[in-house]
Amino acid sequence: MNLLKSLGLASAMSIAALTANAQTTLRFAHPVAEADVQHTMALFFKEQIEERSGGAINVQIFPQGQLGNDSAMIDGARSGIIDIVLVGLNNYTGLVPVAGVFELPFMFPTRDLAYQALDGEIGQGIAAKFSSSGLHVLGFPENGYRNMTNSRGPIRVPDDLAGINMRTNNSRALNDMFATLGANPIQLPIAELYTALETGVVDAQDHPVGIVLSFKYDEVQQYLTMTNHAYSALGLMMNQNRFNGLDESEQVIISEVAAEAVAMQRQLAADNEANMIAELESRGMSVNDDVDAAAFQAAITSVWDAFISENGNAEVEAILALQR
């Protein structure tokens, strides 16, 4: 009897060990603070994946650049060191240059048009191009409309940017835009931006208001101008071999949850925008929405021309067709 009990216990322990070993752990990295809605989305993704997989898939979240800057995280996702990465779509355009169409200034007058382009045939066609770089696109969450902050004064017309040292990301279109408008673009990773603003290395930067708030740029910038000069998407991507190595039911769970997480995060970002602006004002920022948008749009046509000369006009025309 004792022998049978021992054998039974050993069998149970073996099954438990096999179950533990069978659990899939996915490492999910992003660069923003835990107060940001992007992290809220990551938590939703984790909770839903773990629940729907019955615990067979575990998601570990690494926020605020714990696993490196944006480019390092993308490299990690491509190599398989990181399983899932969420960073600005602009950071992927070195792999798929035509994805820069979504970064063109004043391309999307409304969020709904951006969603149609990103989620429809245009976005899916561009998403397919990432497979050659070892990435599987899970979706395009929202960073939001980019607006300008600075320490000099309100920005109303293009001339107000003359000579200003503007921090930029690695988006070719945005760098070209600020140079065309007379600013001095200075590329810096987001991890260095707060200190650069605080010490005067740069005078200004552009980000959606959610990033301004979560990174506390109001502490080192006095003026926020609602230029809404570019819609900024994010790229939620997974190592392709890792995704393909999962069984079909797990792939379905991840794809479905990703789509729900993107929809939730977009809605949350849009719904919270007015409250975030109000909070920035309550913390001392001067917010200006008196902007001559037509003057800005007229001044940056060369940025579109440069993109089209390098990437063709198929995607541009397809997006413009959605607006007609």
Domains of the chain and CATH, by start: 2-91+101-322 (3.40.190.170)
- Residue 22: band (very low, low, confident or very high) from pLDDT cuts 50, 70, 90: low
Phi/psi of residue 305, each to 5°? -60, -40
Q: Is the pLDDT reported for residue 282 higher than 50? A: yes
- Residue 324: band (very low, low, confident or very high) from pLDDT cuts 50, 70, 90: confident
Sign of CA dihedral 32, 37, 40, 42: negative
Does residue 143 sit in helix, strand or coil? strand
- 205 secondary structure, DSSP code: E
Token pair in block for residue 161: 């940017």
| Whole-prediction pTM | 0.89
CA 78 to chain centre: 17
pLDDT in tens, 223-281: 999 999 999 999 999 999 999 999 999 999 999 999 999 999 999 999 999 999 999 99
- Residue 288: band (very low, low, confident or very high) from pLDDT cuts 50, 70, 90: very high
Q: Are 218 and 212 in contact (CB under 8 A)?
A: yes
pLDDT at residue 293 in the model: 95
